[in-house]
Amino acid sequence: MHTEFVCVESEHSAMSASVGASLTGARVFTASASQGLALMHEILYLASSMRCPIVMGIANRALSAPINIFADHSDMMGSRDCGWIQIYTEDAQEAYDWVIQAFKIAENSDILLPITVNLDGFTISHSTQDVNMLDDKDVKKFLPPKKIEYLLDPEKPMTVGAGNNPDYYYELKMQQVEAMNKAPQVVKRVNDEFKNFSGRKYGIVDTYEMKDAEIGVMALGSVTGTAISIAEEMRMAGNKVGVIKPWLYRPFPSKEILASLKNLDVLAVIDRAISFGAPFGPLCNDIMAILQNEEIDLKVFNVITGLGGRDITPNMTRSIFEEALEVQKEKKVKKPVIYLGVRS
């Protein structure tokens, strides 16, 4: 395929160039992490409000200070309300597959929103893993040339991103809300199409042994693999435990998550980021909101762990399941927020 690489001086410029390229009809990909994503923050809002279907890979890493270049979700959680569709992946295969699907989702005429595909920095981005690549001709059939909805053309001048006072701003934001609300159905359709030609199945939320689970652990990203491994061991010991892995984080898949929780007594929510001053971490805050809205009586506690790349070991993960079993037994959450793995 014909491509152009634009080398810029900063991440702020990278996203600015991405917006400009997208508005001229190009299919655009960029990538960032940590402080670079923070530097892009101003332009992230422009990309979504100008309806640019950009795809960006994020190797999620901690934010300074102190300087840290290792994995946690603080970077993207700091921009979670920027109007981008957001996907979290467990491994390199998922990251590869979701990037291909992301273009088709973003470019859908009902959506036209940018998408981030998140993968844990170093844990995934710098690991060695087998990845089954797809043949170029098959990908081109799945993802044909981009249909251009809006085009900046000097011969046909058009104003983009101009000043807007209270007259229309609110209505424009509601158009973004409407596009977000349509995204889950588009994601499902693209997932089905991708499965048909690749054989690999994706969805909005992935689950492990949740049909009869009484104890559930929910997380984003690579830690879900460890959680599933521990759940397998605990299942063999007779414990009805399961794991919930949202692939789609924004828009928040309330319906699908609530369906996965219906038989639970206890849910442990793992966050790899602190929402300073908030009652819980970012993911757990969302969970508590949808449970309150549906008036569901479920014992929930939040585990904040893995910050700055600190390992989330199998033993640590096992302790989360054990804490949940204790909550089930006592019918009471003693510690709503547990900071797991931090030295006192």
Digit-coded pLDDT (tens) for 105-127: 999 999 999 999 999 999 999 99
Where a domain ends, among 198, 224, 246? Answer: 198
Q: Which domain holds residue 298?
A: 205-339
| DSSP secondary structure, 249-296, as one string | EES--HHHHHHHHTT-SEEEEEESS--TTSSS-HHHHHHHHHHHHHT-
Whether residues 32 and 160 share a domain: the answer is yes
Among 7-21, 26-40, 154-168, 259-273, where is mean pLDDT lowest?
Answer: 154-168
Q: Let me know if 281 is exposed, middle or buried by CB neighbors in 10 A (0-12, 13-18, 19+).
A: buried
**Angle of the 282-294 helix axis to the 254-261 helix axis, nearest 10:** 80
- Residue 5 is assigned to a structural domain of this protein: no
CA-nearest of 190, 221, 236 to 71 is: 221
Mean pLDDT for 87-102 is 98
Residue 100, classed as helix, strand or coil, is helix
* Residue in 291, 236, 306 with CA at minimum distance from that of residue 320: 306
- The structure's pTM equals 0.96
Say if 107 falls within a structural domain: yes
Residue 278 and residue 306 in one domain:
yes
What span, in angstroms and rounded, lies between the C-alpha atoms of 56 and 14? Answer: 11
Q: Quick one: 50 and 189 in the same domain?
A: yes
Residues 171 and 102 in one domain: yes
Instruction: Note the pLDDT of residue 242.
Output: 98
Does 20 fall in a domain?
A: yes
pLDDT at res. 140: 94
Half-sphere exposure (Cβ direction) of 206: Cα atoms closer than 13 Å: 20
- Across the range 251-260, mean pLDDT stands at 97
Based on the fold, state whether residues 51 and 154 are members of the same structural domain.
Answer: yes
- 55 shares its domain with 181: yes
Q: 258 and 169, same structural domain?
A: no
Instruction: Average the pLDDT over 201-205 and give the result.
Output: 98
Indicate which CATH number applies to the domain containing 233: 3.40.50.920
pLDDT tens for 264-313 read 999 999 999 999 999 999 999 999 999 998 888 899 999 999 999 999 99
Question: Do residues 160 and 216 share a domain?
Answer: no
What CATH number corresponds to the domain at position 146? 3.40.50.970
Residue 150 has pLDDT above 90, yes or no: no
Same domain for 114 and 258, yes or no, is: no
Q: Indicate if 186 and 325 belong to the same structural domain.
A: no
Q: Are residues 21 and 112 in the same domain?
A: yes
Whether residue 224 lies inside any domain: the answer is yes
Among residues 198, 217, 240, the one where a domain terminates is 198
**Once rounded to an integer, what is the mean pLDDT over residues 235-260?**
97
Please tell me whether residues 181 and 209 are part of one structural domain: no
Average pLDDT of span 124-145: 95
Question: What local confidence, expressed as pLDDT, does residue 171 receive?
Answer: 95
Please identify, among 198, 218, 234, the residue that sits at the C-terminal boundary of a domain. Answer: 198
In whole angstroms, what is the distance from residue 225 CA to residue 172 CA?
A: 40
DSSP per-residue codes, 180-238: HHHHHHHHHHHHHHHHHHH-----SEEEES-SS-SEEEE--TTHHHHHHHHHHHHHHTT
| Domain count of the fold of the chain | 2
Residue with more model confidence, 222 or 158? 222
Q: Is 18 left (phi over 0), alpha (psi -120 to 50) or beta?
A: alpha
Question: Angle at Cα 130 formed by Cα 208 and Cα 57, nearest 5°?
Answer: 80
Strands ordered across the beta sheet of 266-271: 205-208, 241-246, 215-218, 266-271, 299-304, 337-339
Phi (first) and psi of residue 270, to 5 degrees? -95, 130
